């Protein structure tokens, strides 16, 4: 048994850490203009990312990317989690955000949608969530009804990240509402300028994300824009969901790490009642608990990622990692904020932004209650005795 990261991943981790420390952290508080990264900052960081050889690290080699494995990606996500300048959802600085669903398109579709995204010429967004169907998308009300050579989509979507800059959307819609998530949902490629696609309003959130509400009114989509077969809409999601969970988890470890760095530096120099905070047991316990929990979560993330790369089935473990990583990040961040007192609440420090983002990550892409519900089924399969 060997718990060391392989040499090339240790070097990768150091490279990303140096990049984050030298290029990003010094400008992280000024990197954004409202909700968007300033174009000159993005350009500068993207050029640097290319320079250090990390461009398209998660795009498979057959499409011209680096095709890095899960453990390598987790190492990158962890280090990127240490700064507030990298968006928590979509649109990083190491290449265009390629929705993994696009790799399942047929060749004709790839020419129109996948390759231009990889080249940075087109942008996509993902439309699943609805007012009445979020954590339980099987209950979605948006329908796609077939009429000969095309479908007509009607419905309402919300919380759609990047819809305002997208050229097209991957839309999930019910082709058989009675079947729901068991074969009743299909996926479609819909150009955003198709008549009937309406950006209704941006949703202001406590984070800097600004997802959109979208109305789909009699949107005519050719049959050739369906992804896969009718009823396969969820199948594609399931294939990449593990990567999404692991990204949350690894990012959470990075957030916790940064918060410990901040609190660890602050506690020895902040004096109250004649002694530094670092001398107070109450503060020491907060930091030591954070340290232990971060170490445990990191090990779990690395081990799950390593198993994934070996080809093991790690669906349950990835759920556990997401819960651990997201909850860890928020808990450690909250403690760092407490230790900093009032200054931790100000925008002079990154803690308040890490705190807001981390709180939101616990809810999106699978709230912990839903993940625990799914895990409970697996738990009883493993521990529930022979009669279950
Ligand atoms: C900033 C942001 C960006 C997003 N981007 C996108 C995007 O690009 N595309 C997209 O399609 N969606 C997107 N989403 C939607 C996001 O994935 C959903 O908000 C999330 O899945 C939760 O759905 P919901 O808000 O409808 O919560 P609900 O499903 O209504 O759940 C609400 C709460 O109820 C509890 N709960 C739910 N079910 C159970 C249960 N079975 N047992 C116990 N408790 C339960 C949980 O605590 C949960 O947090 C985004 C959301 C946000 C906030």
Each residue's pLDDT tens digit, 288-327: 999 999 999 999 999 999 999 999 999 999 999 999 999 9
242 confidence band (pLDDT: 50, 70, 90): confident
CB atoms within 10 A of CB 11: 11
The residues lining ligand 1, judged by C-beta closer than 6 Å to any ligand atom, are 89, 126-129, 134-136, 159-161, 205, 209, 211, 360, 363-365, 367, 369-370, 373
Q: Pocket of ligand 1, candidates 87, 99, 129: which has the most ligand atoms within 8 Å of its Cβ, to mutate?
A: 129
- Mean pLDDT across 62-74: 94
Residue nearest atom 13 in ligand 1 by C-alpha distance: 159
* Cα-to-centroid distance, 367 and ligand 1 (Å): 6
Q: What is the CA radius of gyration of the chain?
A: 22
Whether 26 shows a pLDDT value over 90: the answer reads yes
Residue 67 pLDDT exceeds 70:
yes
DSSP state, residue 128: -
- Pick the atom of ligand 1 nearest to 129's CA: 11
* Cβ-contact 182, 141 below 8 angstroms: no
Exposed (0-12), middle (13-18) or buried (19+): which is 93, by Cβ within 10 Å? buried
Ligand 1, atom nearest to 90 Cα: 8
pLDDT at position 388, please? 53
Q: How far is the CA of 136 from the centre of ligand 1 (A)?
A: 8
Atom of ligand 1 nearest to the CA of 203: 1
Catalytic residue check, 365: yes
Write down the pLDDT at residue 165.
92
Take residue 283 and report the two structure tokens written for it: 């503060």
The pairs formed by 308-316 with CB atoms below 8 angstroms and a separation of 24 or more are 308/69, 308/70, 308/71, 308/242, 308/246, 309/69, 309/70, 309/71, 314/242, 315/242, 316/374, 316/375, 316/378
Question: Which tokens go with 329?
Answer: 């990040």
Lowest mean pLDDT among 51-65, 189-203, 212-226, 303-317: 51-65
Task: Report the mean per-residue pLDDT for the chain.
Answer: 94
Q: Mean of the pLDDT values across residues 172-186?
A: 94
Terminus-to-terminus CA distance in the chain, angstroms?
35
- How many angstroms separate the CA atoms of 38 and 14, rounded? 26
Q: What is the pLDDT of residue 93?
A: 86
**CA–CA gap between residue 208 and residue 28 (Å, rounded):** 14
Place of tokens 């120099």: 269
Could you say which DSSP state residue 5 is in?
P
For residue 182, the CA-to-ligand 1 centroid distance in Å is: 20
- CA-nearest residue, atom 12 of ligand 1: 129
- Determine the distance from the C-alpha atom of residue 295 to the mean position of all C-alpha atoms in its chain, rounded to a whole number: 21
Distance 290 CA to ligand 1 centre (A): 27
- The span from the CA of 333 to the CA of 345, in Å, is 11
Give per-residue pLDDT as tens, 160-174: 999 999 999 999 999
Task: Assess whether pLDDT exceeds 80 at residue 215.
Answer: yes
Long-range CB contacts (within 8 A, 24+) of 359-362: 359/206, 359/330, 360/88, 360/205, 360/206, 360/207, 360/209, 361/88, 361/248, 361/251, 361/252, 361/326, 361/329, 361/330, 362/326, 362/327, 362/330
Please tell me the predicted confidence (pLDDT) of residue 241.
81
CA 373 to ligand 1 center in whole angstroms: 14
Catalytic-role residue among 232, 303, 327, 365 = 365
Percent of the chain whose pLDDT exceeds 70: 98
Q: Which of 101, 126, 135 to mutate to test the pocket of ligand 1 (most atoms within 8 A of CB)?
A: 135
What are 79's two structure tokens? Answer: 């280090």
Choose which residue among 233, 363, 376 to substitute to test ligand 1 binding: the one with the highest number of ligand atoms within 8 A of its C-beta.
363
Closest ligand 1 atom to 172 CA: 11
pLDDT at 91: 64
Chain mean position to CA 29: 21
Which ligand 1 atom sits nearest the alpha carbon of residue 367?
A: 49
- The structure tokens listed for 201 are 């309003």
**pLDDT at site 239:** 64
Question: How many residues does this entry show for the chain?
Answer: 388
Strand intervals (E) in 175-282: 185-191, 197-202, 212-222, 226-227, 271-272, 275-276
Residue 82 has pLDDT above 70, yes or no: yes
Residue 352 Cα, ligand 1 centroid: separation in angstroms?
22
Which residues does residue 227 pair with via DSSP β-bridges, in sequence order? 187
| 129 CA from centroid of ligand 1 (Å) | 8
CA of 126 to the centre of ligand 1 (A): 14
Query: What is the rounded distance in angstroms from the CA atom of residue 89 to the CA atom of residue 248?
Result: 10
SS3 336: helix
Selection from 313, 322, 332, 333 nearest residue 363 by Cα: 322
Cα(222)–Cα(28) distance, integer angstroms: 44
Report residue 99's pLDDT band, with 50, 70 and 90 as the boundaries: confident
Q: Is 370 left (phi over 0), alpha (psi -120 to 50) or beta?
A: alpha
By alpha-carbon position, which residue is closest to atom 41 of ligand 1? 370
Residue nearest to atom 44 of ligand 1 (CA): 369
Token pair 């928590």 in the structure block, residue: 88
Instruction: Name the closest-CA residue to atom 32, ligand 1.
Output: 135
List all residues 6 or more positions away from 203 whose beta carbon is below 8 Å from its beta carbon: 158, 159, 210, 211, 212, 213
């Amino acid at each position: 048994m060997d718990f060391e990261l392989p040499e090339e991943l240790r070097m990768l981790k150091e490279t990303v850490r140096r990049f984050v420390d030298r290029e990003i952290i010094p400008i992280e508080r000024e990197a954004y203009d409202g909700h968007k990264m300033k174009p000159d900052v993005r350009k500068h960081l993207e050029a640097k990312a290319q320079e250090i050889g990390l461009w398209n690290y998660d795009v498979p080699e057959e499409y011209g990317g680096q095709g890095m494995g899960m453990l390598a990606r987790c190492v990158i996500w962890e280090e990127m989690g240490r700064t507030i300048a990298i968006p928590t959802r979509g649109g990083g600085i190491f290449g265009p955000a390629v929705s993994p669903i696009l790799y399942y398109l047929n060749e004709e579709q790839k020419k129109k949608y996948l390759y231009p995204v990889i080249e940075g010429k087109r942008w996509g967004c993902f439309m699943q969530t609805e007012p009445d169907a979020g954590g339980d998308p099987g209950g979605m009300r948006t329908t796609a009804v077939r009429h000969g050579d095309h479908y007509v989509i009607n419905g309402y979507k919300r919380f759609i990240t990047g819809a305002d800059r997208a050229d097209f959307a991957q839309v999930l819609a019910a082709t058989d509402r009675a079947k729901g998530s068991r074969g009743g949902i299909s996926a479609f490629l819909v150009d955003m300028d198709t008549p009937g696609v309406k950006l209704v309003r941006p949703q202001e959130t406590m984070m800097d994300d600004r997802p959109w509400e979208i109305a789909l009114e009699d949107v005519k989509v050719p049959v050739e824009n369906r992804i896969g077969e009718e009823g396969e809409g969820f199948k594609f999601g399931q294939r990449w969901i593990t990567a999404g969970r692991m990204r949350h988890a690894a990012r959470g470890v990075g957030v916790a790490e940064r918060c410990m760095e901040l609190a660890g530096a602050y506690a020895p120099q902040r004096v109250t009642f004649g002694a530094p905070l670092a001398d107070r047991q109450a503060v020491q316990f907060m930091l030591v608990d954070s340290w232990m929990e971060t170490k445990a979560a990191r090990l779990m993330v690395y081990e799950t990622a390593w198993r994934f790369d070996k080809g093991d089935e790690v669906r349950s473990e990835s759920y556990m990692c997401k819960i651990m990583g997201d909850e860890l990040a928020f808990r450690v961040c909250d403690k760092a904020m407490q230790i900093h007192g009032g200054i931790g609440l100000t925008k002079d420090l990154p803690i308040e932004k890490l705190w807001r983002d981390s709180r939101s990550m616990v809810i999106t892409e699978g709230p912990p209650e839903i993940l625990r519900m799914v895990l409970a089924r697996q738990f009883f399969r493993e521990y529930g005795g022979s009669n279950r």
